[in-house]
Structure 1
Amino acid sequence: MRSTDDYELLDSGNGQKLERFGPVILARPCAQAVWQPKHPELWDSANATFDRKDGLNWHGRERLPEEWVVTARGVRMRLSTTDFGHLGIFPETLDLWEWIAGRIGEAGAQGAQPPRFLNLFAYSGGATLAAARAGGQCCHLDASKGMVEWARGNAALNGLQDAGIRFIVDDVGAFLKREVRRGRKYDCVLLDPPSFGRGKRGELYKVEKNVQETLELVRQVLSDTPLFVLLTSHTPGFTPIVLRNLLEQTFGAGDLSCGEMLLRGGEGVMDLPSGTWGRWEAKC
C-alpha cells in the first residue's frame, strides 16, 4: 500500500476482508483470512458488505455511488459494484503494475522502439494503462465486450485515449493463433487465465486443461528480443512454484521468479495473500 494510493486494506479475518477504495469502505469474502480480525472496531465503518450466503448478495449497495474513481500507482480507475462482488480493480496486482511500468520504462529508455506489451485476460485495464504510461506500445485483450469498454473508459480517464492502445474483444486462443499466422510479435506479455471462463463465441476455458496451450502460443508470439512473461493466477492449487514450473518448461533458460500477490494495508495490518504470480525474464 502506498500513501498516495486510494486503496487500503484495513483489516481481515473470519473469512472476510475490509478495504477502502477512496471514500468507500467495503467488507467482502476472503477464504484465506482464517484468522481473527486485529481491528474489530473498524468493521462497523463499512459502507456496504457483500457475501455469498444463499447466492450473491450486496447489503447496503444502495448507499454507494453508482460509480467512483480511485487512483492507484498513478493510474485512475473507474469503480462500480458488480453482481459478482467485483469492483473493476484487483488491488493485489498493484505491485505488478509498478514492476511492469518500471521494466517497460527502462527498456524504452535503452531501445530505439517502445516495448510491445500484450495483456491477455486483461479485465479493466490497470496493467495496460500502467504500461502505456511508461511508454509501452500496448495491446489489451479480453473476451468480455463490457470489460473492454470499461478499459477504454479508464484509458480516457488517464488521458491515454490517443496512446495507440489496441483494445480487442476475442477469445485468447483464437487471437494468439491469428497473431502467429500474421507474424506479429510482442516483447512482454502478461496473462491472468481464469479458473473457468468462456470466450467471445462461448469457447470453454479451463485453466488446468488450457494453460499449457496458451503459454505455447505466447511463446510463438514473443519477439526475438523479449523482456518478460508474467503469469498470474487466482486458481486454488496453482502455487507460485506451479507457475514457475510452467514458465520454465515453456520458455526455457531465463531468470525465473515467483511469489504471492498480496493485499496490503498500513502499519499493523497483516498482509493478505490473494493469488500467485510467476515471472520469466530473458537473460541479459
Structure 2
Amino acid sequence: MYVANRWNDYELLDTGGGEKLERWGSYVLRRPDPQIIWPLTAETANWKQAEGHYRRSSSGGGNWDFRQNLPERWTISYDNKLRFHIKPTGFKHTGLFPEQAANWDWMMDKISNAGRPIKVLNLFAYTGGATVACAHAGASVVHVDASKGVVQWAKENLELSGLADRHVRFITDDVFKFVQREQRRGNKYDAIIMDPPSYGRGPNGETWKLEDDLYPFIETCMTILSDNPLFLLVNSYTTGISSTVLKNILTLAMHKRYGGHITAGEIGLPITASELTLPCGILGRWEA
C-alpha cells in the first residue's frame, strides 16, 4: 500500500462505526466513509466536539452540522510547500484528498530528476493537488476539468502555493473531447495524470462507465504522449475495481509499446488512534 504519512496539517485521528475523524489544520471534521465497517471503540470528546459533522440522510445525500467557530474555508499546507483551500462541500468532501500526497511525492521526484523540461496533462483534475505538485517540481501543466467552480479553486490553490508565475493552463472542458482535440492538433505530453469517475454524463448526453471506457480512453491518451514519456498515473475510487485490474490495463496498453515499469496498489492514510491504515482508493503507475 502507498501510504500518505508525511502530513503535518492533516491527520486521520480515529475511525469506527462508518465514520472517520480528521484534523484539517486547526479544525476537526467528522465524516462518513464506506470502508470503515469496524466498530468505534469509544466516542471520545474529540468525536463529540468536532467543528463539523456530516450526517447521512436516510433518503440519500446528507448535510453538515457546524459549530460556530468553523470558518467558511481555511488553508492547510503539505510539506510547507503546497497550499490548499479547505471547504466542506455539500457532498461531504473538503476539496482535497489527502491520501494523494503519496502520489504528489512520487510525481515531484520523477519530474525533479528528469533532467529535462516536462509537460504534464492533468485530466479530471479537480482542485489541482497534482497540478500544484507538478508545477512546484518545475513542470509545465495543462489542467482540465469540466467543472468551472473546481477549476477556479485549483487556480487559487496554485496562487496560495506561490506558483502563479509557473506555466500552467487551466481549461474548463469535457476531458474526452479535449484529448481528442489535442490528438488532432498534434500536441504531446511527457506525463499524463487521470482520476476518472465511475460514471459520468457529458453535456450532449455522452455516457462514461469506467469498466467499459477506461481502456480505450488510455489508448487514446497514448496518442498524445511524447516519444520519450516520463509517466502515466491512473487513480480510481471505483468500488469493485482492484489495483491488479489497473496494472493489467497499463501492462497491455503501455508496456508493449514503451517498456518501462508498472506498479499498482492501494493508497491509504495512517490512523493515529489505532495505528491501522485506512484504504482510500487504488492507483496504477507506468514509468519510463
Q: TM-score, normalised by structure 2?
A: 0.91
- Taking a change above 3 Å as real, the CA distance of residues 184 and 267 of structure 1, as seen in their structure-2 partners, is same
Contact residue 186 and residue 226 of structure 1 kept, 8 A: yes
Residue in structure 2 matched with residue 45 of structure 1 by the alignment: 49
Residue in structure 2 matched with residue 207 of structure 1 by the alignment: 210
Contact residue 179 and residue 221 of structure 2 kept, 8 A: yes
After superposition, the C-alpha distances for 1:74-119 in whole angstroms (9 at most, x for unaligned) are: 3100011111111110111111111111111111xx22xx111111
Higher relative contact order (CA 8 A, sep 6+): 2
**1:206 shift after superposition:** 2.0
Choose the corresponding residue for 2:141, options 138, 149, 166: 138
Residues 1:65 and 2:71 aligned together: yes
Using the alignment, how far apart are the partners of 1:139 and 1:153 within structure 2?
A: 15
Contact residue 119 and residue 140 of structure 1 kept, 8 A: yes
Seq. identity, %: 44
Residues 1:238 and 2:241 aligned together: yes
Aligned residue pairs, count: 278
Contact residue 13 and residue 273 of structure 2 kept, 8 A: no
- In structure 2, what residue type is equivalent to 1:195? S
Choose the corresponding residue for 1:106, options 100, 113, 124: 113
- Taking a change above 3 Å as real, the CA distance of residues 124 and 186 of structure 1, as seen in their structure-2 partners, is same
After superposition, the C-alpha distances for 1:34-70 in whole angstroms (9 at most, x for unaligned) are: 1233564232231111122233111226542111000
Residues 1:85 and 2:92 aligned together: yes
Residue in structure 1 matched with residue 124 of structure 2 by the alignment: 121
> Which is worse superposed, 156-165 or 144-153?
156-165
Choose the corresponding residue for 1:257, options 260, 263, 267: 263
Using the alignment, how far apart are the partners of 1:63 and 1:207 within structure 2?
A: 40
Using the alignment, how far apart are the partners of 2:205 and 2:148 within structure 1?
A: 13
Residue in structure 2 matched with residue 281 of structure 1 by the alignment: 287
Runs of 4+ off more than 6 Å? none
Using the alignment, how far apart are the partners of 2:126 and 2:8 within structure 1?
A: 20
- In structure 2, what residue type is equivalent to 1:259? G
Contact residue 104 and residue 131 of structure 1 kept, 8 A: yes
- In structure 2, what residue type is equivalent to 1:274? C
- In structure 2, what residue type is equivalent to 1:223? S
- In structure 2, what residue type is equivalent to 1:47? E
After superposition, the C-alpha distances for 1:120-154 in whole angstroms (9 at most, x for unaligned) are: 00000011111100001111110101110110111
Using the alignment, how far apart are the partners of 1:3 and 1:140 within structure 2?
A: 25
**1:31 shift after superposition:** 1.0
- In structure 2, what residue type is equivalent to 1:120? L
Using the alignment, how far apart are the partners of 2:67 and 2:93 within structure 1?
A: 13
**1:202 shift after superposition:** 5.6
Residues 1:7 and 2:14 aligned together: no
Runs of at least 5 residues in structure 2 that lack an aligned partner in the other structure: none
Using the alignment, how far apart are the partners of 1:81 and 1:218 within structure 2?
A: 33
> Which is worse superposed, 153-162 or 127-136?
153-162
Secondary structure at 1:221 match in 2: coil
Contact residue 95 and residue 127 of structure 2 kept, 8 A: yes
CA-atom RMSD, angstroms? 1.8
Secondary structure at 1:122 match in 2: coil
Runs of at least 5 residues in structure 1 that lack an aligned partner in the other structure: none
Using the alignment, how far apart are the partners of 2:158 and 2:205 within structure 1?
A: 27
Q: TM-score, normalised by structure 1?
A: 0.92
Contact residue 143 and residue 199 of structure 1 kept, 8 A: no
**1:246 shift after superposition:** 1.1
Using the alignment, how far apart are the partners of 2:42 and 2:133 within structure 1?
A: 33
Contact residue 127 and residue 150 of structure 2 kept, 8 A: yes
- Taking a change above 3 Å as real, the CA distance of residues 245 and 18 of structure 1, as seen in their structure-2 partners, is same
Using the alignment, how far apart are the partners of 1:200 and 1:67 within structure 2?
A: 30
